[in-house]
Amino acid sequence: VGIHQIHNNHAELKKQSMQEVRRSLPIFPYREDLLSAIEQHQILIIEGETGSGKTTQIPQYLFEEGYTRDDKKIGCTQPRRVAAMSVAARVAQEMSVKLGNEVGYSIRFEDCTSERTVLKYMTDGMLLREFLTEPDLASYSVIIIDEAHERTLHTDILFGLIKDIARFRADLKVLVASATLDTERFSRFFDDAPVFRIPGRRFPVDIFYTKAPEADYLEACVVSVLQIHVTQPTGDVLVFLTGQEEIEACCEMLQDRCRRLGSKIAELVILPIYANLPSDMQAKIFTPTPPGARKVVVATNIAETSLTIDGIIYVIDPGFCKQKSYNARTGMESLIVTPCSKASANQRAGRAGRVAAGKCFRLYTAWAFKHEMEETTVPEIQRTNLGNVVLLLKSLGINDLVHFDFMDPPPHETLVLALEQLYALGALNHLGELTKLGRRMAELPVDPMLSKMILASEQYKCSNEVLTIAAMLSVNNSIFYRPKDKVVHADNARMNFVVPGGDHLVLLNVYNQVHAGAFKSGYSTQWCYENFIQFRSMRRARDVRDQLEGLMDRIEVEVVSSQEDNVPIRKVTGYFYHTARLSKGGYKTVKHQQTVFVHPNSSLFEELPRWIIYHELVFTTKEFMRQVIEIESSWLLEVAPHYYKSKELEDNSNKKMPRKQGKTKEELG
C-alpha cells in the first residue's frame, strides 16, 4: 500500500472512533425520541447534565435529519466566546469538515463562517445583532438557545424576541437547552412548552465542608490540592477560582510547593483555564493525564457548565465567583468577588461525578451553604448597564420597553438611565424615539458611547484616529502586560508610551507604534514582549479596527486623519457623557456629584487635570475612573449644549493641581 493509502486508513480509523465516542454520549439513546419531539413541537426545552452532548450533538442530529435543506441554517447560541469557538471546532472535527465551511462560528469582530455554513455556533450577542439585518431570522430553520440557565443579558433578550417571531414563523423550531436548572421557568415563559429530559449518567459525589470559615481561600485551595494528591487514589482535580489573577497565583503557588517537595510526591500537572488564555494553552486541559501523574485544572466558572473535562474525580470549591453589579443611580459598574449561588455550587460539585464516584471539597461551612448563599444567581439583566440593548431594541422598532416580554424585567431605574443616556447622546429624541443618528449608531457593534464618538469624529475630521481609539478601548485593559515579578520594568515600559493629554492618546500612540513599526517588520511578537505589550490584544485591536472601518461606508462617515493638534480628538474622544472635575480629595462627577478617583495605571495619575472625561467607572478597591482624557470645560458647551448648562461648568480655570501625596500602598498593587 502506498503512503496515501495508509494515510487514508488512518483518517478512516480516527473517524470511526470519533463516531464511537458520539454513540457513547448520554444523549445518543434519545436521538430518535428527541427528533420526534422536535418535529411535534415548535418550542422545546431540553434539559441535560453538562457533558451529555447537547451542544455538540443536537445540531448534528438536526443536520442528519434534513433540517438544513433549502439553504436553511441551524443556529446555536453560546454565552461565551470561548465555548462558541471550541464547540464549533469540535463539531467540525466530528463531521470531518474544515472549520468555517459547513460548520462555523461567529463572535463579535470575528466571523468564521461562509456561504456553505449550515451549522452556525455564535455568541448570543451576535444572534441579537442578526435581528437588525434579518428581523424574522428567515435563513434559519432551527434556533438553539444553549446554556440558557446562564441567563446572560443577551440570552434574556433573545428569549423575548424569539418567542415573538415564533408566533408568525410556524416553520421555525426553537430549542432552549439548559443544564439541570430552572427548566420549569423556561417552560412557563414559552407558553408551557414541553421539557425533554436527557437522563444523565451521574455517579454519587460526596460533599465535604470545612468546620470553620477559611480566612485565605487561595491558600486553602493549594493545601487541599496537595492533600488530595498525597492521600487520595488516582483521579484529576478541578479547582474553581474567580479570575485570571487568582488562577495564576494559585498555579504558581502549586508549582512552587511541588518543586520543594521534589521527588517525594508523584508528578502533578498544573493547568490554568480562563477566557483570555491563548487557545493553544486552553486546548491543553483536554489532553489525557500521563500514567502515574495527576492533573489539576484551575478554572473560572467557565468549567461549571460550558466546558467538560474528562477524568475529574475531585472538585475544590471555595464558593466564590466574580460578579458584575450595576448602580443605576450613578451608572457605575463593578466586578466584585461574591459568594456563588447554591445552584452554582451544585453544578461545580456535579463535575466530580461524571466518570466515577467523586468528592467535592467545599471550602466553607455547611451552615454558610444553607444560610448565606442565594438559591440562584441573579440574572445579568438585573445587574448591568442596558444602553446597548435598549438602542438595539429601539432600532428593531420596539418602542415600549416597559411592556417588552422579559422573563425577569430589569429594574426600572436601569431602564430609565439607559434611555437618558441615549437621549443625551442624541440617539433618541425627547419622545424616546430613535433618531437618524441613533439608527447609524446601532449599526456599529460597540457601546453607544463609542459609536457616538465615531460618528462625531466626522465633524471634527479625525475619524482615522478615533477609529483606532475605539478599537483599543474595545480590547480594554489587556493591552499592557504587567507580570507580578516584573512590575517595575512593566511600568517603566508603559511610561515610554505616555504622551500628553490622556490615556486615549496613549492608546493611539501604542497602536501606531506597534502597527507602523513592529507589525510591518517581522519582529512583532518580540517587540511587543520587550515593551510589555500583549501581542494578542494588539492583533485583536487591529481586527476590530478593520471591521469598524469596513462599516464606515454604511454609516457614511469618511475616514480622514486629523491635520491639527490633538484638540479635535480630545473633543470627540470618550465623548462628553462621563465628565468629572477635580475637587478636594479626588474628582466629582459633573452629573451625579459622585466622588471618584483616577486609576493608578492612568497616564494622568500624577497630573490630575481640572476637567476630565473618563471611559468607564469601576469599583475595585475604590471608585476608579479608567481611561481618562484631559479636556477644557468650555468644550462641553460646544459639543453638548443640550446636556450641559454653563452653571454646571463654572470655575473653568484650567490650572492643574499638583498631586500632593504619592501612591498609596494599595494603589501600587
Quick check: 326 and 332 in contact, CB under 8 A? yes
The site partner of 26 among Mg ion, ligand CDP, none (C-beta below 5 to 8 Å per kind) is none
Spatial distance between the Cα atoms of 565 and 460, rounded to a whole number of angstroms = 12
Spatial distance between the Cα atoms of 447 and 636, rounded to a whole number of angstroms = 21
Q: Of residues 34, 55, 59, 80, which one binds ligand CDP by CB under 6 A?
A: 55
Q: Is 310 in the site for ligand CDP (CB under 6 A)?
A: yes
CA dihedral 560, 566, 571, 577 (to 10 degrees): 100
Q: Which is nearer to ligand CDP, 343 or 541 (CB)?
A: 343
Q: How many CA atoms lie within 13 A of 439 on its CB side?
A: 10
Quick check: 333 and 618 in contact, CB under 8 A? yes
Give the interface segment with Mg ion, choosing from 55-63, 353-361, 364-372, 638-646 (CB under 5 A).
55-63
Q: Which amino acid appears at position 151 of this protein?
A: R
Least CB distance to Mg ion at residue 147 (A): 6
Give the interface segment with ligand CDP, choosing from 84-92, 262-270, 448-456, 512-520 (CB under 6 A).
84-92
Q: Of residues 60, 68, 86, 152, which one binds ligand CDP by CB under 6 A?
A: 86
> Chain-centre distance of CA 90, in angstroms?
21
Least CB distance to Mg ion at residue 301 (A): 14
Least CB distance to ligand CDP at residue 286 (A): 6
Q: Which is nearer to Mg ion, 55 or 594 (CB)?
A: 55
Q: Which amino acid appears at position 530 of this protein?
A: E
Spatial distance between the Cα atoms of 231 and 630, rounded to a whole number of angstroms = 59
Q: Is 55 in the site for Mg ion (CB under 5 A)?
A: yes
Strands 73-78 and 195-198: unpaired
Q: Of residues 46, 62, 76, 87, which one binds ligand CDP by CB under 6 A?
A: 87
Spatial distance between the Cα atoms of 447 and 273, rounded to a whole number of angstroms = 28
Q: Which is nearer to ligand CDP, 308 or 334 (CB)?
A: 308
Q: Which is nearer to ligand CDP, 17 or 661 (CB)?
A: 17
The site partner of 51 among ligand CDP, Mg ion, none (C-beta below 5 to 8 Å per kind) is ligand CDP
The site partner of 155 among Mg ion, ligand CDP, none (C-beta below 5 to 8 Å per kind) is none
Q: Is 51 in the site for ligand CDP (CB under 6 A)?
A: yes
Quick check: 104 and 73 in contact, CB under 8 A? no
Give the interface segment with ligand CDP, choosing from 85-93, 188-196, 455-463, 660-668 (CB under 6 A).
85-93
Q: Which is nearer to ligand CDP, 58 or 475 (CB)?
A: 58
Least CB distance to Mg ion at residue 55 (A): 3
Least CB distance to ligand CDP at residue 360 (A): 19
**Mask for 57-76, x = binds ligand CDP (CB under 6 A):** x-------------------
Spatial distance between the Cα atoms of 589 and 572, rounded to a whole number of angstroms = 18
DSSP secondary structure letter of residue 486: G
Spatial distance between the Cα atoms of 290 and 334, rounded to a whole number of angstroms = 41
**Mask for 315-354, x = binds Mg ion (CB under 5 A):** ----------------------------------------
The C-alpha cell that represents 591 in the structure block? 452629573
Give the interface segment with Mg ion, choosing from 54-62, 462-470, 496-504, 513-521 (CB under 5 A).
54-62
Give the interface segment with Mg ion, choosing from 6-14, 46-54, 489-497, 607-615 (CB under 5 A).
46-54
Spatial distance between the Cα atoms of 521 and 516, rounded to a whole number of angstroms = 9
Give the interface segment with ligand CDP, choosing from 53-61, 128-136, 403-411, 434-442 (CB under 6 A).
53-61
Spatial distance between the Cα atoms of 289 and 267, rounded to a whole number of angstroms = 10
Q: In whole angstroms, how far apart are CA 213 and each of 128, 372, 376?
A: 43, 12, 22
Least CB distance to ligand CDP at residue 351 (A): 11
Site for ligand CDP in 245-304 (CB under 6 A): 286
Q: Is 547 in the site for ligand CDP (CB under 6 A)?
A: no
Spatial distance between the Cα atoms of 239 and 316, rounded to a whole number of angstroms = 5
Spatial distance between the Cα atoms of 62 and 32, rounded to a whole number of angstroms = 11
Q: Which is nearer to ligand CDP, 86 or 384 (CB)?
A: 86
Least CB distance to ligand CDP at residue 198 (A): 8
Site for ligand CDP in 21-40 (CB under 6 A): 25
The site partner of 53 among ligand CDP, Mg ion, none (C-beta below 5 to 8 Å per kind) is ligand CDP
Spatial distance between the Cα atoms of 582 and 599, rounded to a whole number of angstroms = 14
Give the interface segment with ligand CDP, choosing from 51-59, 370-378, 494-502, 603-611 (CB under 6 A).
51-59
Q: Which is nearer to ligand CDP, 310 or 433 (CB)?
A: 310
Give the chain's length. 669
The C-alpha cell that represents 273 in the structure block? 483555564
Least CB distance to ligand CDP at residue 13 (A): 18
The per-residue DSSP string of 625-645 comes to EEEEEE--HHHHHHH-TTT--
- Which helix (DSSP H) or strand (DSSP E) does residue 280 occupy? helix 279-283
Q: Is 149 in the site for ligand CDP (CB under 6 A)?
A: no
Least CB distance to ligand CDP at residue 239 (A): 19
- State the number of binding residues for ligand CDP (CB under 6 A): 16
Q: Which is nearer to Mg ion, 49 or 616 (CB)?
A: 49
CA dihedral 544, 549, 553, 558 (to 10 degrees): 150
Q: Is 123 in the site for Mg ion (CB under 5 A)?
A: no
The per-residue DSSP string of 492-553 comes to HHHHTT--TTBHHHHHHHHHHHIIIIITTSTTHHHHHHHTTB-HHHHHHHHHHHHHHHHHTT
Spatial distance between the Cα atoms of 363 and 345, rounded to a whole number of angstroms = 11
Give the interface segment with ligand CDP, choosing from 45-53, 273-281, 359-367, 587-595 (CB under 6 A).
45-53
Starting at the edge strand found earlier in the chain, the sheet holding 358-362 runs 205-209, 358-362, 312-317, 236-240, 294-299, 268-273
Quick check: 104 and 89 in contact, CB under 8 A? no
Least CB distance to Mg ion at residue 383 (A): 24
The site partner of 86 among ligand CDP, Mg ion, none (C-beta below 5 to 8 Å per kind) is ligand CDP
Least CB distance to ligand CDP at residue 306 (A): 8
Q: Which is nearer to Mg ion, 54 or 173 (CB)?
A: 54
Q: How many separate helices (H) and strands (E) can be counted in the chain? A: 25, 21
Q: Of residues 308, 399, 513, 595, which one binds ligand CDP by CB under 6 A?
A: 308
Q: Which residues bind ligand CDP (CB under 6 A)?
A: 25, 48, 50-57, 86-87, 90, 286, 308, 310
Q: Which residues bind Mg ion (CB under 5 A)?
A: 54-55
